[in-house]
Structures are given as C-alpha cells and as structure tokens.
Structure 1
Amino acid sequence: MNKKTCSVCLTEKDFEHFYKQVKRKKNGESYVYLRPDCKTCCKQKSTTWIKNNKVQFKKNLKRYKDKPELKEMQRKYNEKWRGSGGLRKWHINNKERLKIYSLKRNNKNHEITVDEWIACKNYFNYSCAYCGLSEKEHRIKFRQDLHKEHVKHNGANNLSNCVPACKTCNSSKQNSSLLRWYIEKEFFNFESLKKINQWLLHDYKQFIRNKNKGI
C-alpha cells in the first residue's frame, strides 16, 4: 500500500504527493525518507514563512547564491546559454523590457567630467572602492575600465555619489544600501568604508573647489 497520511491536512495520499529524500542509517544502509506533510501543505507552510520572514529569507537566499560552487555552475550555464544564442533570442523577445531598462539606465548615468572621473579614481588609487581590485587587473579580467558606481542607487548623478567599482561589485550591490551590502562581504574593510564616506561627505568638494578656481 503506497499511501501515507499527511500530518497537517490529515488526508491520505499516494507517496508521489510527498517530498522524498535518500538517507542513511548508522550502519550505512540507505533508505527513502518521506516528509510527514504532503507537498501541498509543505509549499503552503513555506510560503507563509517567507511572507512573515522576508528579511531572513533574503539573507538565506543571498547566502545560498554566494556559494562558490553555485556561482561557478551559474557562470558555466550563462556561457552555454549565450553561446547557443539564448541571449540574442531573449533580446528579440523582450524588446519592450529592454527599452524600459535602457530608459532607466540613461537616468542613472553620471554627469561628471573626464577630469572629475580621473580625480575620483586617483583618490581610490585606481582601484575598486569596495574590494580593492586595481583597474589594471580589472582590464585583464573583464576587458574594461572600472565602473562609475552610484553609492546611493537613487541619489545624485554627480561626483557626490560616485566611486570607482569593479564589474562584480557594481552588479552585486545594485540598489542595496552601502552598509547593509558591504558589511556582509568577505572583503569588507573598515578603513575602505571610512574612505568612501570621507570622499562622499567632504573630499569630493575639494576637487570641485579646485576645479572652479582653475587649479
């Protein structure tokens, strides 16, 4: 008789309606373990927990996504997907979404001069303000210069909200707040955080004053 009673809804259902897992006894013998609650009740329980614990769920999901083996698996999948024409097909089938994204990105472009950008990179030793990857290493790894990063996602587009960032940090941070995102990173450095805040609060102004004086 391949039936089991759910511990939550108390309904008798076939084994296929329960999640299963292969486990091992102390003697090494393997066996199939069926959850006491059926798939439907399990999903409802999970949905309710996520709804009531959104912050913790996001932390758990982020911790899972940050696993090196998962990142490597995702990288290989993305390469295969792009190589098979998946990205091109997505662009063709999502033209409206791309237009909306493009408009948003245009509103997020920094309006700073070449000299201001050079001063900003020089202040951070031509390295990512977050992880410290140098621009030279960045060019070798990503074949591009460091990015102009909006520290505050919806903040100003001028020098008061701009630091150099590598492609990885720029993509990872997205619209997260600086402290909440940065403090969870393995490369978090208090001195780097202090330097970023010093630049955003005070030091960028010195360059603007000097520029206005023609220095």
Structure 2
Amino acid sequence: MDIKKHKIINRYYHKNCISCKSWLPATEESFYSVKKNKDGLHSYCKACVLKKAKESMLKNYDKQLERMRERNLLPGMKKAKKKYNSSLKKKKTQQIWQEKNKLKLKNYRLQRDAHKKHNITDVQWQKCKDYFNNKCAYCGLKIEDHKILFKGTYIQ
C-alpha cells in the first residue's frame, strides 16, 4: 500500500482523504467503494464527496434542471410524460408486456396502492424534519437550497 495514502493507526488501516486531508478508517463506512482504485475505496471521504456534489449541484443548477426536464423528473412534466407514454403505446411493447404478465402487474398495482396512503400528522412531519435537521433525507440539501434548485417547488 502507498505510504502517502495509507497508514496504520491503532492496529487498523487508515486512508487519507485527498480533499480534507484527514485520516479515516479505510472502510466503506468512511469511503465509498470504487473498483478502479487498488484498495477499492474512493480517494475522497464520504463527507467530501457529498459536499462536492452539493456544490456542483448548486453551481450548475440550470444544467441540472435541464437534465431533469429531459428525464421527466420535475413536477409539471405531464406533456413530456404523455409523449413518452404515447410512444410506448405506438410500439405496443407495454401492452404486450401487460398481456404476458397479468399476475405480476396485478401484484405491482396492489403493492403500489398499499404504499400510496400515508397518514402522517403535522407533529410527526415536524419530528421527521427535525430528525434530518431540515435537510433532504435523500441528497442532504437544506430546504432553502431545494427552493433555489427547484425554483420554489418543495414540500414544507
């Protein structure tokens, strides 16, 4: 192992994050796994990777919005979704799949309907937001940053 990037501290291998220069345990709890590196771990620690991703997202939010629009990920994209669904119907691939997999489709619909109903009180929602420190549970952005990124469309 490379001396500059790895060293043993208290009988455990530690890896140096190239961004924050801190020595962290060389495990998947501290670093994301990457196949291309010899040790199988990313060069940046998880905290630095998330920080870089957040900075990149805020810096390039116009490009991010455009990509999301292309992929139909933003709310209000019904027109694009209709176009996508109509192309599926033209090819009839969806209909063919549904005919072949009637039982599977029925199970999917039952599962979806079972998970649709979420009865949550205002107190429970506030506790949930407090638990995640008023940040997104998925990407870690603050609510204000989501408002900037999505131009005012976020759940309060």
From the CA coordinates, give the structure whose radius of gyration is larger.
Answer: 1
Whether the TM-score (by the shorter chain) exceeds 0.5 is no
Q: TM-score range by the shorter chain?
A: 0.3 to 0.5
TM-score by length of 1: 0.29
TM-score by length of 2: 0.38
Q: Which has the higher contact order (CA 8 A, sep 6+)?
A: 1
